[in-house]
Amino acid sequence: MVSLTDEQVDFIRKEIESHGISLPDLQANLIDHMCTIIENEMSDNEDFHSFFYSILPRFFHDNLHEIEMETIQFIHQQKFKHMKKSLNYVLAFSSILLVTGSIFKIFHLAGAAMLIVSSLALVLFAAVPLALIGMHNHPISKTQKSLSALISLIVLLFACGGVFKVQHWPFANILMLSSVGLLCLVYVPVYFVQQRKTSSDTWTVGINSFLFLLTGITIFLLFDLRAPLFK
């Protein structure tokens, strides 16, 4: 069993860096692994440099940099899982608050407005940012990111309108109607055309598009168009 000198360890580090490995933890793990292999397998009469280059292909298929790319992708996937889990908790809690607030409002109980506003505030300041961050980090196409950004904007406008409505602030109606207009006139057509191009399940795409459109129209019909738009 040989013992590597500081110069040899430094050579391994420089070679790893030259192959595009820049993550400090990954560098340290690779150096440690390579040093262990060399110390256990290299004989005293073998040349260090030749032996190092002979074991290097063990760590990759095409090039050493692919290890870093796979590591970064794995880190992003783990972050996305945590983000998705957090988003699910936020949405569940927001839904509980919204349903409870709606029940309180129906029965004219105290605290209804506070519960509804809290629910919408969670959507505005937690759910939408988490969704946008997760969308940015997740490896999806630009079109899918655009659709996700658009539906986030729609939710943002509607939630803002809901808060304004509960608080009796101006522009509540125009915010909510803008979100419904974007949903029916922009999101649904773009979603339908894009999904028809990329998905083989055209039946599901058609049903989803119809449900989105039906939701938007139903919400639109709940508005009193005789009321002032900016109130």
DSSP track, 167-217 = TT-TTHHHHHHHHHHHIIIIIHHHHHHHHHHH-S-HHHHHHHHHHHHHHHH
The percentage of the chain sitting over the pLDDT mark of 90, rounded to a whole number, equals 15
Confidence at residue 83, expressed as pLDDT on a 0 to 100 scale = 82
| pLDDT > 70? residue 136 | no
Least confident of 66-75, 99-108, 111-120: 66-75
pLDDT more than 70, % of the chain: 93
Q: What is the three-class DSSP state of 138?
A: coil
Q: What is the tens place of the pLDDT at every residue in 73-90?
A: 777 777 778 888 888 899
pLDDT of residue 230: 61
pTM (whole model) above 0.95: no
- Which tens digit of pLDDT belongs to each residue from 47-76? 888 888 888 888 877 777 778 787 777 777
Task: Give the separation between CA 231 and CA 165, rounded to whole angstroms.
Answer: 8
Dist CA 179 CA 188 (whole Å): 12
Asked whether the predicted pLDDT for residue 189 surpasses 70, the reply is yes
Residue 185 has pLDDT above 90, yes or no: yes
Confidence (pLDDT) at 154: 92
d(CA 86, CA 72) in angstroms, rounded, equals 21
Q: What does the mean pLDDT of the chain come to? A: 84
* Cα-based distances in Å from 56 to 35, 60, 218: 11, 8, 63
> How confident is the model at residue 184, as a pLDDT?
92
Residue 93: pLDDT over 90: yes
Mean pLDDT of 99-105: 90
- Range with the lowest mean pLDDT among 4-13, 34-43, 45-54, 77-86? 77-86
